Every structure is written in C-alpha cells, then in structure tokens.
Chain A
Amino acid sequence: MAESGKVVQAVAGYVTRALVVDAHAHVFTHDMPVLANPRHNPKYAFTPEHYLAIMDAHGVQFAVLAAGSPWADYNDYMIAALRRHKRLRGTVIVEPSVERYTLEAMARDGVVGVRISFITAKEIPDLTTFAWRRFLRRLRDLDWHVHLHIDGPRLPQVLPAFEAAGVKLVLDHYGRPDPDQGIACAGFQAMLRAIERGRTWVKVSAGYRLGEERVAAYGRELLRVVGPDRLLWGSDCPFVGDEEATTYRRTMETVDAWMPDDATRRKVFGENALKLYFS
C-alpha cells in the first residue's frame, strides 16, 4: 500500500509541473452509426468536452483521439472535435483508395495518422498491392503515421510492408504480445527491432486490458532494450467495456509504476508525443 501511495504522489507531483500528453483516447455519442457486429457498442456518449474536463482535472494539456473501430470511417464527430479544440489531434479510419485531397483536408483539420485495425481481422489484406503501396506512400508524403492495432503474434507478418513503405508506425497497447509468452513473443521481439530502426513508436496504454503486472514487465523490457524515446503513454479513456473498474488516474499510475526517473517520465508522459503528433 505504501508503494502505491508513493506512485500516486509521483504522478501527482509530476503532472503539476510538466507537460502531459495523452496519446490515446476516444470520443463518441451513442447515436453515431455503428458497424454490423461491432467490437464494442457503448450505449452512452463521451463528448470532447467531457474528455477535456477529465484532461484538465489530471493536468493533461494535449491529447490524440484514436478512431474507434465500431464507427469505422465515420470520423466526422472526431474531426469536428479537432476543429474546435486545438489541443487535440486525431487518427482516422479510411479506405486505402482515399484521395490525397481528402487526406490533405483532414490534415488541415488536425488529423495526423490513419488507424489500421487488424485485431479482429480473420484475414489480413495483402499490403503489397498497388492500392496499399499507393496509400502508404501518400501517408508518408503527408508525414502522417500508421496507427496500427494488431495482436502481437501477427505483427511480424505485416511489419515488413509498413517498414518498406517508409511510413511512421505507432503500435497500440505495448504491441499486444501473446499473454503466455510475454516479452518472448515473436511479435514483441519484432517490435523491439522495428523501434531500433527508428520509425516505430509504441503506446504504453490499456494496461487495464492486458493486466497491470504483465504490462510492467513489457514496459521495463522496452526501456531496457530501446530506451524511453519511442514510448507514448495513452489512457484509452473512457475505457470502453471497463468503465467502472478503471480510472483515468489509474492508467497513469500503471505506467508510472515502472518509470525509473523523472527524465523518463517527461518523455513517456509528454515530450515524445508532443514531438510526434504536434510538431
């Protein structure tokens, strides 16, 4: 318990005097169009204004909204939020055939990347087709990043195509290694190598989904092998599917628990994300 108290204190002390950026949150309303068989289907609204109030209460200055898979390419509500609030950036879900002009208009509105979710995909599309290579090239031309959500074991099969395209890559949720294999998971190891090559980042987020003990081990291994410069803290607020059990503060504490010092905290909780998403 004493240990936990110290962590809370560390987070509280940190956030009052430094830059904090939340690299992963969602906003939505209950009446937005939802895909057939969505992964989640929240029956409540979580508005940008509600989220900004939570950010303010926790000393978080900036944030990146992640496109949510239930609403597919209905990015409209999120983009409206980016237009209103310059503290926010976002990633969108789009078809690979999207026009360059559409992407450029989105960029002017604060979009910085494309979310690609293969987490529930039975089959991963062929990323070497002209349509996909053209798409990834356009993202690179715009200096956007690919925001990839995939289960760790399948990461090695898609990494080469993304790396060959020369586009920046941000992996969700510690790269989601197989829970039984942990840091030994081939996907986790492939992620470390990709980070070392310099164009890949990873979010240290959704610890409440993956298990706090587990993610502490993932986090320590990331710091040990690749250092702090490519790690981005994200809350995954409003914790869809786990709203009651998780708190915003807890998502900070979960990462703070394995931070060795304030210099690392500054990078993981703020500086890295500011550079990647806001510059």
Chain B
Amino acid sequence: MTLPADIPAVDCHAHVYTLDMPMSGEAWHKPPADATTEQYLQTLDDHGVGYAVMAAASIYGDYNDYMIEATRKHKRLRTTVIVEPTTDPYVLRQMRDDGVVGVRLQWRSLKTTPDLSSPEYQRFLRRVRDLDWHVQLHDEGARLPPAIALLEAAGVKLVIDHFGRPTADLGTACPGFQTILKTVANGRTWVKLSAGFRLKSPQVAVDCARGLLAHAGPERLLWGSDWPFAAFESSMHYQAAIDGLKAWVPDAQARQRIGGETAFKLYFA
C-alpha cells in the first residue's frame, strides 16, 4: 500500500456512536447526528488514513459495546474504553483480545475527580499495567499534575489528550503543560497533538507543539483528528485536522514518525 506522502497513517483520536445509544445522566454534549463506524471508515479512506484508535466518549458512560463491535469487525481499528475500576480482570482481558488498548479517564467534565491513590484504583492501575494497556487522560491542564504524579508512580503507560489542555491564559506556562514536559522524559508518556480547535487560539497549539517537540521528540507525540469534532461539528472538518499537524510540526520527517511509527508501536504492536 502506498500512502499519499505527508498523510498520517494512524488517526489516534476519534469517536463513533449512534444517537440511539444510552446516554449517561451527566452527558456534557448531545451530538447532532450519528457518527457511525462506517461513516468514520469512509472518512479515513477519503483521506488516505489507514488506521485509527477510537477514544471512549464520556457521554455514553461505560457502554463501550458499539466501539468494541467495531474493533472486532475491523482490524485497522483499536479503541480505549471507560470502565469501573472494579471491572473484573477477565473482562478486561476479553476486551484486550477484542482490540481494546487502554482505559480513558475522561475527567474534564467532572467536578471532582476520583482518587487514584485509593486501593481500588491502585489495583486497577496495576491491572492496566499488567495488560500492557495505557491510561488515556483528558483533563484541564491545571488539574493534571497530581494525576500525572500518581499515574507515573503506578508504572502505567500514559497518553495525554489534546496537548494537555493548557489553561487558556497561560498557554505553555500552564503548570500542567510544564509537568507534561518533565514527565515525557520517563519514556512511558505520550502526548496527542489533537483538537487544536479546542485551545484558545491556533498560536497556542503551535507554541505547545514546539515545546513538546523540543522536550519529547516525535517518538512521544501522536496525532489525532478528534472526528467528528464534538461541539465543533459545523466549523471543523477532517482535512483541517490533517493540515493542523503540518502547522504544528514543520519538519516532514518528524511528521511522518508522529503520524506513523510512534502510533503503530504504541497501539498496534
């Protein structure tokens, strides 16, 4: 297979769902339309993107069933899930066999976040580590440092969503972002260059990417489209997400590693 030059091979962040799926009581967003697995695969094909990793969406709670159906059917897809920390390890293993590669801590919409130092979470994180899964963390940059410290201590692989969501007025000076820059040195932490449209301005994304490239390098960075662009459905489109990577990572070789090798090693190995 020859991919068109300069197209990421792996989209590391997207969501699939149908409007008739059960929504959790705390849903922060009600999507305007279905985003089916078939629509998503078509979008990937239209843009020459070969592989993808889907992210569990908090609005459907732990109804991961639709995504797992997709990864069972399509070997070019992987996914993360949202589960209770008490989930039986036999269930987690079956999920792994079905193409699940990690658990998402989707904390950004939570008022108070769970205590990762509790015995329950410590046991859970150990199970995640035993499975060679990763924790996919999405939270406000300002709240990241304590969570990162506990996840680092637990020895799990960590993937941080959307540039670490730096606090709007601080940009790269956000303590969460600064913590990320220090943590990537541990070799078990990755950061997604994704959803730049959710940051305060395009310049913030460019600045963050520059800092990450300098501290982490392309082997710790991933690209994701965040399709179907929840809450930005009408203003954002897939080609713009691909173009984003070019704006953030000017060097073509670095882009190629971010869009390909780094993601393959982490999610498809």
Contact = CB atoms under 8 A, between A and B. Distances in A.
B32 to A, nearest CB: 20
A102 B88 CA distance: 11
B219 interface: no
B91 A134 contact: no
Contacts of A141: 65, 69
B61 A130 contact: yes
Contacts of A101: 90-91, 94-95
B88 A99 contact: yes
A137 interface: yes
Interface string B60-77: 011101001100000000
B114 interface: no
A266 interface: no
If over half of B's interface residues share one DSSP class (helix, strand or loop), that class is named, otherwise mixed; here it is loop
If over half of A's interface residues share one DSSP class (helix, strand or loop), that class is named, otherwise mixed; here it is helix
Contacts, number: 31
B25 interface: yes
Q: Which of B21, B24, B61, B63 has the most C-beta atoms of chain A within 10 angstroms of its own C-beta?
A: B63
Interface in A96-132: 99-102, 129-130
B63 A137 contact: yes
* Interface residue range, chain B: 10 to 19
A240 to B, nearest CB: 34
A58 interface: no
B23 A130 contact: yes
A26 interface: no
B250 interface: no
A151 B20 CA distance: 30
Contact of A138 (B20, B65, B91): B65
B62 A134 contact: yes
A130 B21 contact: no
Contact of A100 (B20, B23, B65): B65
Contacts of A166: 20
Contacts of A99: 87-88, 91
B22 interface: yes
A149 interface: no
B94 A134 contact: no
A144 B2 CA distance: 44
Contacts of B68: 100
A99 B91 CA distance: 8
A134 B88 contact: no
A271 B22 CA distance: 34
B19 to A, nearest CB: 13
A138 to B, nearest CB: 6
A133 interface: yes
7 contacts: A99-B87, A130-B61, A133-B22, A134-B63, A137-B65, A141-B65, A166-B20
Given A130-B25, A137-B65, 4 more contacts: A99-B87, A130-B61, A134-B61, A141-B65
Interface of A: 99-102, 129-130, 133-134, 136-138, 141, 166
